[in-house]
Amino acid sequence: MTLLITGGAGFIGSAIVTAALDRGDDVRVLDSLRDDVHGGQPDIDPRVDFIRGDVRDADVVRSALDGVDVVCHQAAKVGLGVDFADAPDYVSSNDLGTAVLLAAMAEAGVMRLVVASSMVVYGEGSYRGAAGLTRPAPRRVEDLDAGRFDPLDADGGALVPQLIAEDAPLDPRNVYAITKLTQEYLATSWARSTGGRAAALRYHNVYGPGMPQNTPYAGVASLFRSALQRGEAPRVFEDGAQRRDFVHVRDIASANLAAIDFTAGPGAGGPGAAGSGAMDASFRPFNVGSGTVHTIGEMAEQLSIHAGGPAPVVTGEYRLGDVRHITASSARLQSELGWTPRETFESGMREFATAPLRAAVTPK
């Protein structure tokens, strides 16, 4: 099988490349090596057929698709951005790029797709209150200023965080989240119109060796890790009790291989498979998480311990629009595709505390 991995030189893409090569796939990588993603020249496995080019360039994409059986689409501008001025680049990089890729796939007759999505399509996580399952409104500034970080129901009552499943309502709350959901809808339209088969993997909090460091777009895990590398204490926002599902990049890679195999099979899914009722059997979304819940404070503490660095500092600061709690139910991925995460939180944090990171980059 010949596999095209867009963004295959990136943090997650390179892990998928390694896993695919190790199981015997032929791998081609299309990556622009843009400066705000890659600090310096990344190492490309010599077994890879590498093409340097932008996924928005139709001629380059057509060439990259020659002889390909399945596309694993990882190329994207990630993170929450710095300000709204980043919006055009997000929309162009993520949505225009996906549209160009899908149009070229339709032209070339490539009928199998895995697209990298994200937990951010849900907005806030799932909660249970007095009236049952609910999705709270965005948190109010006056509550955050007063240190009241947990969302409340409409009557001011407490809410209990729940694992979120793929059939939860979709509520993207920032530009990046909107572009990820748009990628899913584009993939759905492509699958319906061509008869192709697509899977979207909604990644939860990914971490591991080779994460990018020291950029406004980096995840909290790499920011804590970079602080410790500088001899500084990790700075934890709010009260550190934000619940997350931290999933190791090697488990993300194995989930992609399972999804690639899924795209070769018969139709799956059903009404509302994507959580909105708008997507059909040719498209299937899957949460990808470890299945265990930890807090951001616990992650910072584990990294500090294993790095031998200063203890985390809980600052009480907040970023308006941040999600309080979101944790994954990966039951669909496990039951339908037979995928199981292998990396535990404890072993993963022990490794990550001293693992090499990608060089710092200058964001656009």
Q: Position of tokens 């990136």?
A: 10
Secondary structure (H, E, C), 149-213 = CCCECCCCCECEEEEECCCCCCCCCCHHHHHHHHHHHHHHHHHHHHCCEEEEEEECEEECCCCEC
pLDDT for the residue 81: 67
Which three-class secondary structure state does DSSP give residue 108? Answer: helix
The string of DSSP codes covering 209-241 is TT-B-SSTTS-HHHHHHHHHHTT---EE-TTS-
**Contact status, residue 40 vs residue 362, Cβ threshold 8 Å:** no
User: Could you list the mean pLDDT of each consecutive 10-residue stretch along the chain, which spans 364 residues?
Assistant: 97 97 98 79 90 98 98 91 86 98 98 97 92 88 95 89 94 93 98 97 95 72 92 97 96 98 68 39 93 96 97 95 91 96 96 87 60
N- to C-terminal Cα separation, the chain: 36
d(C-alpha 228, C-alpha 241), whole Å:
20
Torsion sign, CA atoms 60, 102, 201, 86: positive
